[in-house]
Amino acid sequence: MVALPAAGESGRIISGGSEADRFVMGLLRACADAVIVGAGTFRKAPGHRWHADAIYPAAARQFAETRSRLGLRPRPTLILVTGSGAVDTTQPAVRDAIIVTTPAGEARLAQVPSTTRVIVLGSSTIPLGDLRARLHAEGLRVLLTEGGPSLVAEFVAEKLLDELFVTVSPALFGRFANDRRKSLAEGIDLSGTPLELLTVRRHGSHIFLRYALGDDGVCHGDPVDHGAMDVVVGDNERDPI
């Protein structure tokens, strides 16, 4: 999957609007306590709410039942990560969100809805390990990040990512010099971080892959324990924080 800088939101374009792809994203959201996105991903999806039924409305009832069975709140909490604070706080998703930023970002976020929480972490950058610890302390255990690629790369580099979900779409996109497209993980040398393939699913010509990442850089047996899972990553919008 690649980014399309001039085309806006790229996930639907690359996946071809696959219903199965949107269902998988909805299911991941339905199982999460919180959805973490970077500012670039947030900007590319104006008006979107990071809820399961927002990505796949046809399964809204089943998603709600899933959350109820798992003992989760009706909606996952949106965690918006922005070092600069350069985000549109009038977007509907912000009303129930937690914005995580730096002191400089906080100064730029002077006006936010009264229901929005702003958490300041770090100085010039946001330490993701501290963010995870803070969210865990608040009872948000299963964390789903949907990117962008800089945020994903940081989670992997700091060994904070447990699982990776990748959709292989049956479409080819060429690249050219200086096209500014980004990969799934951007900006950090991950030095061949090993992945362990857990499951493979197919719907038509779309392939859905689920990988495990070891917390010490080595993959282990079956690491999936949804009571203790930290961060998993789904679809990614390719933009920097």
Helix (H, G, I), strand (E, B) or coil at 207: strand
82: nearest Cα among 110, 111, 108: 108
pLDDT at 217 over 50: no
Question: Which range has the worst mean pLDDT, 101-110, 144-153, 184-193?
Answer: 184-193
Mean pLDDT confidence for 68-86: 97
The CATH class that applies to domain 5-237 reads alpha beta
pLDDT at 216 over 50: no
Helix (H, G, I), strand (E, B) or coil at 18: coil
pLDDT of residue 33: 98
Provide φ and ψ at 96, rounded to 5°.
-115, 15
pLDDT of residue 105: 96
pLDDT of residue 54: 95
Which has more pLDDT, 195 or 216?
Answer: 195
Q: Which pLDDT band holds residue 152 (cuts at 50, 70, 90)?
A: very high
Average pLDDT, the chain: 85
Question: Which range has the worst mean pLDDT, 4-18, 131-145, 187-201?
Answer: 4-18
pLDDT at 82 over 60: yes
Longest dimension (CA), the chain: 50
CA-to-CA distance for 81 and 36, rounded, in angstroms? Answer: 7
- Cα-based distances in Å from 120 to 90, 102, 117, 134, 169: 20, 5, 10, 11, 38
Q: Is 4 left (phi over 0), alpha (psi -120 to 50) or beta?
A: beta
pLDDT of residue 11: 58
pLDDT at 15 over 80: no
Mean pLDDT confidence for 152-159: 93
pLDDT of residue 178: 79
pLDDT tens by residue, 157-196: 999 999 999 999 888 877 777 777 777 888 888 888 999 9
Compute, in degrees rounded to 10, the torsion defined by CA atoms 30, 45, 42, 55: 0
pLDDT at 219 over 80: no
How crowded is residue 136: how many other Cβ atoms within 10 Å of its Cβ? 14
Mean pLDDT confidence for 122-148: 95
